[in-house]
Each structure stands twice: as structure tokens, then as C-alpha cells.
């Protein structure tokens, strides 16, 4: 029977198609059917369930039918629909906002927030009403840890959100819970960060007491570009590189050799050192405990 199910089955449609509650209970019991939320099912064998973002989109689709009038998709759920990066933010619940003072609630699969919504705060994608990029960033910045919020804010600026629009949005929530946190995130956000790892790196660098770097700093030898570095401290003659595996994946052409890419990166680093620059590198693992990487950067800044 599960082979006959649509990619997402809602109970009214399944009952209308001839299935019954006893059949649905049996399929859930034997593990052939997975419940996204009450009355919404998907085949447990569907490979899309292994992708956290796709699974959350399914959860959003399942929850739309039960939304109260005026409610819009918001917070991390809006970020998913907008294609904004998320890091360390749980996606087990669909988040929506209703434009009223009270009535917020949280269940196992849905978190209903209450807050004013202006016309510029709401957009529509594929027939779904959701918060705008600026409002989405602000809502996350008001409720999520600083580092996680910066990841999303950087991504929104990188995707074209105007800093002035974000700043105006922050001013409109002055006095709301978390407004000060939103102001700090908006001030720190920088669309020049090209990945989650680079956004987290900027936070780690500043938290370590190091000077704020220039993202995507270009090093020139006359009219020739030596290299574009993830981070630069021009006056201190130092650069920093976040070595996420995805960086090499983007550089590698179809049929290319990863070893050649790594070798080219080594030659590039030699060129940077020849310009009198200290080069410090760090990886994903370093971001979870940045002291050692910070010490390497600090040594370079002090030489």
C-alpha cells in the first residue's frame, strides 16, 4: 500500500482515496509509514527523509492546512523556504508567526509565535506566505544563539539583502524581546563571508580577542592577483584560510584530480608567503575549539 501513497499523504485525502484509519495505524506500527505530524504521513522508505532540509519542507507542507488565518511561515522554517543557510538550529518543528499579542504555543511539531507583522515583513513564495529575508534574519537573531544567527544573516546579505533594509527592520523591533541581540547580529553580519564555515570563523576570531579581519582580501603583486584569501589583516601582513572540504569541491572541475587542486593551493600559499604574509589555516574541527587556531593566527600577527 505504501507504494501507492503520494510523496506526502494527508489523512482526509487518504480516507477519500479508500484507505482507512486501521490500515494507517498498522502501517505506522510495522514501520512502513512515518508520521510527520498528526494526520500527515510519508513512506518510511522515502530517501528524502534523510535530508534534514527536505524533511523540514515536508513538515511545512503538512502543517499549512492547519494554520490559522493570518499566520505566516517564519523563523527557521522561512529560512528553509528562502534557501538561507542554517547552522545548529533545530528543524524538528515548523515555525509560524501570528500577528497578535497572545496565543503563542509550542507542540511537538509546531511552534506558533505571536508578533506584529507589517506589509513589508511578509512575502509569498509558491503560494506560501512567509516572512521576508530581513524579518526572518531578525526573528532568528532575536531567538537563536549569536553564532547561528550570524550564519543566516551573512547568507541573506550574500544573497542580496540590503544592509539598510536589515537595519530598518531592526529599528522597527526596538523594545521587543531579543531586539538588542538582533542589533548585534545585524551590526556584525557581512555578506562577504562565503560559507557557513567562514561565518563561524569570523565569530570565533573575534571571540578569541583577535582583530577583526577583512573577508575575501585580495593580494596583488603590481597588476597581478596573487590570491584572494578568506581573511586578511593587511596592516599586520597576515592572512587566514578556512579549509572546509567544500572549498576544494568547488574548485575541482568534472574529471579533475583532487591532488592537483591541493598542490595548486600549496603553490598559492607559497606565493602569499613570498609577499611577506604569514598564512594561518584552520578546519571545521578547529571551529569547535578555536584556541589552537587562534594561537597560530596570533603568532602571525605578532611577527
The pLDDT of residue 248: 39
Residue intervals of the chain classified under CATH 3.40.960 are 197-302
Q: Does domain 197-302 have CATH number 3.30.200?
A: no
What are the tens digits of pLDDT across the range 261-300?
A: 555 677 788 899 999 999 999 999 999 999 999 999 999 8
Greatest Cα pair distance in the chain: 76
What would the DSSP string read from start to end of 6-21? -SSEEHHHHHHTT--H
Summary mean pLDDT of the chain = 87
What are the tens digits of pLDDT across the range 6-48?
A: 456 666 667 666 677 777 777 677 776 777 777 677 777 777 7
Confidence of residue 245 (pLDDT cuts 50, 70, 90): low
d(CA 190, CA 200): 12
Say what percent of the chain tops pLDDT 70.
86
d(CA 12, CA 9): 9
Q: Cell numbers 510519508 label which residue?
A: 42
> pLDDT at residue 3 above 50?
no
Amino acid at each position: 500500500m505504501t507504494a501507492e501513497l503520494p510523496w506526502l499523504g494527508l489523512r482526509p485525502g487518504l480516507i477519500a482515496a479508500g484507505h482507512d484509519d486501521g490500515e494507517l495505524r498498522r502501517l505506522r506500527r510495522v514501520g512502513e509509514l512515518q508520521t510527520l505530524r498528526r494526520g500527515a504521513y510519508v513512506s518510511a522508505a522515502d530517501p528524502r527523509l534523510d535530508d534534514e532540509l527536505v524533511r523540514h519542507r515536508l513538515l511545512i507542507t503538512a502543517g499549512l492546512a492547519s494554520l490559522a488565518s493570518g499566520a505566516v511561515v517564519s523563523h527557521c522554517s522561512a529560512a528553509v523556504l528562502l534557501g538561507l543557510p542554517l547552522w545548529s538550529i533545530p528543524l524538528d518543528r515548523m515555525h509560524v508567526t501570528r500577528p497578535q499579542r497572545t496565543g503563542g504555543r509550542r507542540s511537538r511539531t509546531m511552534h506558533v509565535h505571536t508578533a506584529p507583522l507589517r506589509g513589508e515583513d511578509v512575502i509569498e513564495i509558491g503560494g506560501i506566505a512567509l516572512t521576508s529575508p530581513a524579518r526572518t534574519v531578525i526573528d532568528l537573531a532575536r531567538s537563536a544563539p549569536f553564532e547561528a544567527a550570524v550564519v543566516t544573516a551573512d547568507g541573506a546579505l550574500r544573497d542580496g539583502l540590503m544592509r539598510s533594509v536589515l537595519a530598518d527592520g531592526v529599528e522597527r523591533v526596538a523594545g521587543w524581546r531579543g531586539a538588542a541581540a538582533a542589533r548585534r547580529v545585524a551590526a556584525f553580519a557581512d555578506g562577504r563571508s562565503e560559507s557557513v564555515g567562514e561565518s563561524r570563523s569570523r565569530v570565533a576570531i573575534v571571540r578569541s580577542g583577535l582583530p577583526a579581519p577583512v573577508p575575501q582580501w585580495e593580494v596583488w603583486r603590481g597588476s597581478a592577483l596573487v590570491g584572494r584569501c578568506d581573511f586578511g589583516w593587511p596592516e599586520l601582513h597576515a592572512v587566514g584560510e578556512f579549509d572546509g572540504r567544500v572549498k576544494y569541491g568547488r574548485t575541482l572541475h568534472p574529471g579533475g584530480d583532487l591532488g592537483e587542486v591541493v598542490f595548486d593551493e600549496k603553490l598559492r600559499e607559497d606565493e602569499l608567503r613570498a609577499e611577506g604574509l604569514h598564512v594561518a589555516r584552520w578546519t571545521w574541527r578547529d571551529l569547535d575549539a578555536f584556541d589552537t587556531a587562534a594561537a597560530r593566527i596570533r603568532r602571525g600577527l605578532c611577527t
